[in-house]
Structure formats: C-alpha cells, structure tokens
Amino acid sequence: MHSRTPAHRTGRPRSAAADTAILAATREALVELGWSKLTLGDVATRAGVAKTTLYRRWPGKYELVVDAVAELFDELQVPDRGSLAADIEGVVLQFAAILNRPEARNGLIAVVAEATRDEALRERLRASVVDRQKRLVHEGRARAERRGELPPEPDPEAAARAVDLIYDVVAGAVVHRMLVSDEPADEAWVRSFTSLLLLGLAGASRAG
C-alpha cells in the first residue's frame, strides 16, 4: 500500500482564481477525456497556469480530482419543500443529478477505487466530500425538529451517531443504485426510498 501526504505549501499565498480555474479545468477534462487520459499537464494548459503552479497545490492526480468533485457536491442544498419527506426527496434528487454528470461519475469511481488502498487519499475523500456534506443531514433534521416532525435529540453523541447513519444510508443507497447497479435514481425510486427511510426514522424516534 502506498500513501500520499499533503505537500507543505510555502512562498506566495495561493490564488483563489487559479484554484477555481484548475478545478474547473479538471472537471472539463474528466468530461472530454475521461479519467484514464486526464493528465496534470493537460489540466494546467486548460487552466492557463504553469504546471509548477498546479503541483504546488496538489500532490497528484487523485487529490486534484477529489477536490474538483467535492466542489460539485458543495452545490447541494436542502430545499424547504414544506415537509421532511419532500425535503429528503429534493436533496436526493439533487444528489442523483450530480452523480449523473460524467465528471462526477468518472472522478468518483476512480478515486474511490484508489482510496481502498491509499489511506491518505481515503482521508482526503472523507474530509472533502463526506464530512462536508453531513451538513445536509444537520440542516434537514433541525428543520424537521422545528416543524415537530422529529423529536429533538438531547444527547450530542447520539445525535452525531444518527447524523452519520442517516448520511451513510442516503449516500450509500444512491451511489450503489447509480454507480454499482447502473440504475436511475428517478423520482419514483426516490419516493420509494424516502418512504423507507422515514419508516426507519420513525422507528428510531419511538425507540429513543
């Protein structure tokens, strides 16, 4: 097993504009070239930056793609559609729409496969995508509690475990459906999945 460690950055401060251009160029290359043909040199050319600028920011191709894909998932929002069920359906449909994008699909499949044997990359994927997107569960649950749809959870540790479980169930189901089974997560499937998830949440609330 090999591992990567983040490069220590010294010298001039990072340019947000350069970062934005590099990540956008990475997604463009994933669409046009696919994972196997994507190179850091091509990304640098597309972004209009020197290769040294790119290498100062990302130690390798996998780390670059993680950050490029993470930006797509940062677009996710929990819409206020009036009920917990409708809110869940809304965010799951958004998630599915992102996974339908070739840059997300190509990049995610590649980095997840590599992360199974690269601990540092696995941690980067967890921090950049998984941990950042758990905010959606926090937001959705807080809104449901304000509506009286779910009881508050006074125990912080139990609340954190619930957030982890809900996120794992939602993300795991959608990723498996679309990237493993290669089936669509369409509105009918999302409605059925949401009904099943709500049954679990109701049971957990009664057990608590």
58-101 pLDDT, tens digit per residue, is 989 999 999 999 999 999 999 899 999 999 999 999 999 999 99
Q: Are residues 144 and 198 in the same domain?
A: yes
d(CA 50, CA 48): 7
Tokens matching residue 126: 């967890």
Residue with tokens 């957030």: 163
Q: Are residues 166 and 146 in the same domain?
A: yes
User: Which pLDDT score is estimated for 205?
Assistant: 53
> Per the domain annotation, does 40 fall within a domain?
yes
Q: Are residues 201 and 119 in the same domain?
A: yes
Inform me whether the pLDDT recorded for 7 exceeds 50: no
| Local confidence band at 204 (pLDDT 50, 70, 90 cut-offs) | low
User: Which pLDDT score is estimated for 14?
Assistant: 60
> Containing domain of residue 137, as a range?
69-207
Q: Are residues 21 and 122 in the same domain?
A: no
User: Which pLDDT score is estimated for 200?
Assistant: 75
Q: Are residues 99 and 189 in the same domain?
A: yes
Instruction: Quote the pTM value.
Output: 0.84
Tokens matching residue 161: 């475990």
Inform me whether the pLDDT recorded for 203 exceeds 60: no
CATH number of the domain that residue 42 is part of: 1.10.10.60
Query: What's the average model confidence in pLDDT over 36-57?
Result: 93
Contacts for 51 with CB less than 8 Å, ≥ 6 apart = 40, 41, 44
Percent of the chain at pLDDT > 70 equals 90
CATH number of the domain that residue 191 is part of: 1.10.357.10
